[in-house]
Amino acid sequence: MLPIGPFSGPQVAQLFDVFGIPASGMSMNTIALVMYPFSNVDTWNPAFNSGNMTTIVNAIKAQLALVDVDTATIVNADLVTWQTIRDSEMKVSQDENGAQGTIIDDMERRRILRIRIANNCGISVPKDGYLAELEAVYGKSLKEFRAGGGGFGGLGDR
């Protein structure tokens, strides 16, 4: 990815990761997984919805070009924190008492960072990113199960 304003190419790519939007502006979302058990092998047939967000991507790139160097320094520090959180692993130990560990809610820290980074860049971003917003609207995780032979039909887990 090419540099934009005070941001290097890798920083721009990371910003799009933070904003939860593909830098190309194109997405392919699975909106349903349908199981047809009408043969010896259960077949999953996903349904897709492609999204064109190039207008949003171009607007974000134009806004990033307006960010001054001092603000970019603040944003870059937050990008380092974002990367540290993303690369964190939960450590679990096991002894005679069983497995033990601590789960840290990094999702909330990422939401706060996403909002702070977006605000510093002058961009409004949904709290969980653009693709998560699309998933919520279009029901990406919806699964429909159908049984053959006059059985039953219903919705699976969302």
Q: Tell me: the pLDDT tens digits for 138-158?
A: 654 433 333 333 333 333 333
Q: Worst-scoring range by mean pLDDT, 23-37, 87-101, 137-151?
A: 137-151
Q: Name which residue leads in pLDDT, 99 or 73.
A: 73
pTM metric for this prediction: 0.66
Q: Residue 9 CB: number of other CB atoms within 10 A? A: 11
Q: Where are the beta strands (DSSP E) in the chain?
A: 26-36, 43-52, 92-95, 98-101, 143-146, 153-155
Q: How many CA atoms lie within 13 A of 98 on its CB side?
A: 0
